[in-house]
Chain A
Amino acid sequence: MKPFAIYLCGVGGQGIGLLSEILLRAADYAGYVAKAVDTHGLAQRGGVVVSHIRLGETVHTPLISAYGADLVVGLERHEALRGAQAMLRDGGALVYFDTVLQPLGVRLGTEAEITNADVDRACAPRGIAVHRMTCPNLADPRMQNIVVLGHLHLLGLVGEVAAEHSLRAMDDLLEGSALAANVGLFRSIAANDRQTP
């Protein structure tokens, strides 16, 4: 299987950890040799959280090098652009949930908020395919990570990892009503079966 690197980024509290763990386990089910590492510095909600996943038999360290990611997954617009600029290879794919959690400087009025046009402008010259998504009817914003996961499968962006592998991973990690809600949402997107979540 061809080596594949996924860099996930977002803001503390958005569920990067769960998304990364699902993808890691799904990749393992798909037959990849898989390594990952989360880096979250100070644990408070509100800081940057990133996770590295590297798939392939020749992988030694889970840490992705600059411009070494085939796919960058962002759960927030600023972090998506930050991640794509630092980690994504030319011609890679950027997938992000289009929500904004304003960084401190924006709230203090000293810096400007990043727009979707900014993201497109930064990515176009490097041949990066940008996929952004929202889910207006989502009952719980903490499930934005599953919306993104569903789209990753829908768009066929996670190498040889199939939706079925992610479902098995979710079953390993979640239980009860949380499992049911996440699986329902995931199926509705990954299977392109557009029910209102």
Chain B
Amino acid sequence: MKNMGGMLLTTTPFSEIVMGNTALVRAMVEAGTRVVTSYPGSPTPEIATAIQSIPPDKRPFYFEFSTNEKVAAEVAFGASINGHLATVFFKSVGLNVAADSFVQFSLMHCLGGLVVVLGDDPGANSSQNEQDNRHYARMSYTPVLEPANPTEVYEYYLEAANLARATAKAIILRLTTHVCHAKERVAFKGWSPPAAYDDQPRFDPTRGSYIPITARVFPPKREALAALGRVERWVDERGLHRVIGSGGERGLITSGMVALSAREVLAEVPETLEKPAILKLAMPYPLPVRAIAEFLAAHREVKILEELDDNLEKEIKALAYDQGLTTRIIGKSELDDWVGEYTPDKVRAILHRTWPDLVPVPRVATTAMPVPLRPAQMCPGCGHRSAFHAIKQALPADGAITVADIGCHTLGFQEPYRMGEVLLCMGASTGIGSGLSLFNHSRPVVAFLGDSTFFHAGLPGIVNALFNRHNLTLVLMENGTTAMTGHQEHAASGRNANGPVEAIPVRRVLEGLGVRNIFEVDTYRQKELTELMRQALAQDGFSVVIARHPCMLLFTRNQRRKSGYQARHVHIDQGTCARIHTCVQTFACPSFSRAADGSVSVNPELCIGDGSCIQTCPTGAIARAGQEGGTP
């Protein structure tokens, strides 16, 4: 959309085709949200893209990318207890990072209201797990609204904001990947920008128990539990839970995008048969006892159709027991019912198993011609590729243990690099590597870490390695941006979400911490990097190699925008090429193509002419287009 920023600030009612993430931002504007914070992570980065389409001076709220999800949550909380409606958004596993602070929110009087927007990822499309964050809701007594499509994202955020303000509580708005990214025409209400904002700091320590220690924990805990009842009634009275169809003997309880899959599959049931009614829950926690009890009582058997874990199922079974209802409740039965996204295909298979008379056997794939898989790759020219290629040559064959972290460089675990062979989460590599180094006198340990992750959660592991004198080498893969999620700024970028700021260079931080052995080189200088890596590995104790090169996807994109940009490529001199295949098979830039006869060529659609491959050819057959073969 050409003028997304203008669209988001439209004052008159309008409709537009938007994705869920964009609809959310319009709702933030209409609701009078004053502070929004985040750390980038899929499926939520487009929320920030929409926010940043509004120039900072026109934004009706403050926005920042914080250094991690925990800090983002804390900034939003701080704003909220000062009287501002605040929102924090991040991906599913971001809640693990934020959890230490997040679990306290329900004990606090969040004066301005606080909305926690989660981008959960059933199907693990871009995450290290598919954790079901409804567990956190239950653990922390935090209500969850769960929209199914962009229209509901918009509507439910407005509900969440009102509810958060009215109850002075934190409310979760739980999105999932295909709710964030779904697109449809959404009708928006008008918006009147206030003439002035009441920005007076209103924090008042007497308003709530803001110091939850020992016995002072109990009153706010009772209040949090009591508030759940008020929220349950509020959502019920607002009519947000919906019964679709009347059904006969059969019913189905579901929520979120799964409800759409269910409606799609049940639409295929012939008119001659009785379709089950659907109870679509807007809020899976706390559950609406009245609505569920009525629905159960009205049906002989009810299927709980629930993506990921069996939260609804267990609670609804308990509720039926308590209410003395004898409705047959059908929950999960096979392990795969806990696994993966509930797409229409998956729901069709589950409902066929549940009611074979209603839902016929889904069509299974017939004999298909196998197509080679296409795993995600580091981009052509990526500095990480040069780094892995060079570092591998410094490691003893099969002797080293390499530890991955989160970032584009995670992809190094794949063939042909096999660099970074264990992965937990953001910033974990140095800690894991430290443990791997204990009692280990034969296998050098190398941990990888990105620069955004360095600030996010990498620092404690580094300080620990220094403090406890661990023996490992950390390779800091510095590309100057948060590349994997779409090039957001970080503390070393020299910019934040609102404009230029003084950078915090990673090297200065490391020096300040007292890292004695710091080596630094541009990754395109592969021989030098190999040599520095050897030197780092020879050190006793903790050493850091800063392997730096700008993200070439971002660099090339910026170059293309400049006038007079000329596309550059390398080519292969077929007379010089000895078909050793280092370029295509070991360095493995995707720009190289390999023909059935073993000859190698350069795909000009992919090659950016960076030339990082030229030095990898043993016979010097690669050269920039227009030049003869170079010196290897």
Known: A24-B183, A45-B377, A62-B183. A114 touches B371 (CB 8 A): yes
Give the shortest distance, in Å, between A134 (CB) and chain B (any CB): 12
Q: List CB contacts (< 8 Å) of A23-55 with chain B.
A: 24-25, 28, 33-39, 41-48
Q: Is B261 an interface residue (CB 8 A)?
A: yes
B484 pairs with A44, CB closer than 8 A: yes
Q: Is A188 an interface residue (CB 8 A)?
A: no
| Bound CA–CA A186/B289 (angstroms) | 57
The answer, among B125, B184, B363, B374, for a CB contact under 8 Å with A103, is B374
| Bound CA–CA A173/B343 (angstroms) | 29
The interface centre, meaning the residue of A36, A46, A173 with most chain B CB atoms within 10 A of its CB, is A46
Known: A34-B17, A60-B264, A172-B2. A101 touches B605 (CB 8 A): yes
Known: A37-B182, A45-B380, A104-B377. A121 touches B261 (CB 8 A): no
Q: Is B243 an interface residue (CB 8 A)?
A: no
B372 pairs with A111, CB closer than 8 A: yes
| Bound CA–CA A175/B195 (angstroms) | 33
| Bound CA–CA A86/B411 (angstroms) | 26
Q: Is B611 an interface residue (CB 8 A)?
A: no
For B567, give the chain A residue with the smallest CB separation.
A140
Number of interface residues, chain A, beta carbon within 8 A:
60
B125 pairs with A39, CB closer than 8 A: yes
| Bound CA–CA A65/B603 (angstroms) | 34
A60 pairs with B263, CB closer than 8 A: yes
Q: Is A61 an interface residue (CB 8 A)?
A: yes
| Bound CA–CA A121/B367 (angstroms) | 12
For A46, give the chain B residue with the smallest CB separation.
B377
| Bound CA–CA A61/B341 (angstroms) | 13
B377 pairs with A43, CB closer than 8 A: no
The interface centre, meaning the residue of B182, B184, B372 with most chain A CB atoms within 10 A of its CB, is B372
Known: A122-B368, A174-B2. A63 touches B343 (CB 8 A): yes
Residues of A within 8 A of B371 (CB): 78, 81-82, 85, 103, 114
For A62, give the chain B residue with the smallest CB separation.
B182
Interface string of A47-80 (1 = CB under 8 A from B): 1100000000011111101110000000000110
Q: Flag the segment in B93-101, B132-140, B419-427, B583-591 that touches A.
A: B583-591
B373 pairs with A28, CB closer than 8 A: no
Q: Is B378 an interface residue (CB 8 A)?
A: yes
Q: Is B415 an interface residue (CB 8 A)?
A: yes
The answer, among A13, A36, A45, A107, for a CB contact under 8 Å with B182, is A36
Q: List CB contacts (< 8 Å) of B561-595 with chain A.
A: 581, 584-585, 588, 590, 592-594
Q: Is A136 an interface residue (CB 8 A)?
A: no
Q: Is B335 an interface residue (CB 8 A)?
A: no
The answer, among A62, A78, A141, for a CB contact under 8 Å with B374, is A78
Q: Is B185 an interface residue (CB 8 A)?
A: yes
Give the shortest distance, in Å, between A85 (CB) and chain B (any CB): 5
Q: Is B323 an interface residue (CB 8 A)?
A: no
Known: A63-B343, A106-B372. A46 touches B414 (CB 8 A): no
Residues of A within 8 A of B376 (CB): 12, 41-42, 44, 46-47
Interface string of B587-618 (1 = CB under 8 A from A): 01010111010100001111000000000000
Q: Is B181 an interface residue (CB 8 A)?
A: yes
For A126, give the chain B residue with the smallest CB separation.
B366
Known: A46-B590, A102-B594. A121 touches B584 (CB 8 A): no
Interface string of A131-165 (1 = CB under 8 A from B): 00000000001000000000000000000000000
16 residue pairs A–B, Cβ–Cβ below 8 Å: A13-B379, A37-B182, A39-B125, A39-B178, A42-B42, A42-B376, A58-B267, A82-B371, A85-B369, A85-B371, A104-B372, A104-B377, A104-B588, A105-B372, A106-B372, A108-B416
Contacts A24-B17, A25-B17, A44-B378 aside, 19 further interface pairs with beta carbons under 8 A come to A24-B183, A28-B17, A39-B178, A42-B42, A43-B485, A43-B486, A44-B553, A45-B379, A46-B376, A46-B590, A47-B376, A60-B260, A100-B593, A102-B603, A104-B373, A108-B588, A109-B598, A114-B372, A173-B2
Q: Which residues on B are within 8 Å of A, measured CB to CB?
A: 1-2, 17, 42, 125-126, 149, 177-178, 181-185, 257, 260-261, 263-264, 267, 343-345, 348, 362-363, 365, 368-369, 371-380, 408, 411, 414-416, 484-486, 553, 581, 584-585, 588, 590, 592-594, 596, 598, 603-606
Q: Which residues on A are within 8 Å of B, measured CB to CB?
A: 11-13, 21, 24-25, 28, 33-39, 41-48, 58-63, 65-67, 78-79, 81-82, 85-86, 99-109, 111-114, 118, 121-122, 141, 172-175
